Amino acid sequence: MIHIEEDEEEGDDWGIKDILFSSSNENKNLYDFNPYYNARSPFILTIEMTQKGMFILLRNGLIIKLSNEQRKIESIYSNSKLNNMISIGTKIVDISCGIQHILARGRDCRIYSWGINSYGQLGLEKLGLNAEIVKPTEVELLSDKKINQIYAFEYTSFCVDSMNDVYGFGKVK
């Protein structure tokens, strides 16, 4: 269990404690998706940042996006289509973010990406540069690989499969 404490000097600028530990109607969808959700113990696995906001991966596979502007829940990505949430189709076990893009690895070892494809970092060949994808989209180039690790940096993405082969796309300096 991860315990979130406020830094006495900096405080909780994002209001993460208020968002995750509140049982208000605004956060009711967290309870709807996970009947075992406990506001005191949300089981945060990963917190990642992009220019567009903060992404929090919970142990149950939910990805919560907090917007930069309003610092409240903007989207929830899930493996189901309940409550009009954005469906990914599989339980997410890992996320990694670059400056403008997000990679997610499903329990089934499939890779999903979304965000801005400035330099091809989404790994989606059909897209032009600077195209923006708002929903998680499977990276079909890797669909026959068992990806075990994902890494996103600035405008680059890397994936490592079970044979330790590395696949990369995007801008490499």
User: Which pLDDT score, from 0 to 100, does residue 138 have?
Assistant: 93
| Span 16-170 CATH architecture | 7 Propeller (2.130)
Mean pLDDT of 48-75: 82
What SS3 class is residue 32?
Answer: helix
Per-residue CA distances from 94 to 37, 66, 125, 147 (Å): 19, 17, 23, 11
Please name the amino acid found at residue 27. N
Q: How far is CA 21 from the centre of its chain?
A: 20
- Cα 112 to the center of its chain, rounded Å: 9
Angle at 103 between CA 99 and CA 105, to 5 degrees: 160
pLDDT band at 147 (very low <50, low <70, confident <90, very high): very high
Length of the chain: 173
Task: Tell me the Cα Rg of the chain.
Answer: 16
* AA letter at 76: I
Instruction: Give the Cα-Cα-Cα angle 116, 30, 114 (nearest 5 degrees).
Output: 10
Model pTM score:
0.73
Query: So where are the chain's domains?
Result: 16-170
26-64 residues labelled b (16+ CB within 10 A) or e (exposed): ebebbeebbeebeeeebebbebbebebbbbbbbbbbbbb
Distance from C-alpha of 3 to C-alpha of 41, rounded to nearest angstrom: 8
pLDDT at 35 over 50: no
Euclidean distance between CA atoms 48 and 54, whole angstroms: 6
**What confidence tens digit (pLDDT) does each residue in 68-119 have?**
776 678 888 887 765 556 778 788 999 999 999 999 999 999 999 999 998 9
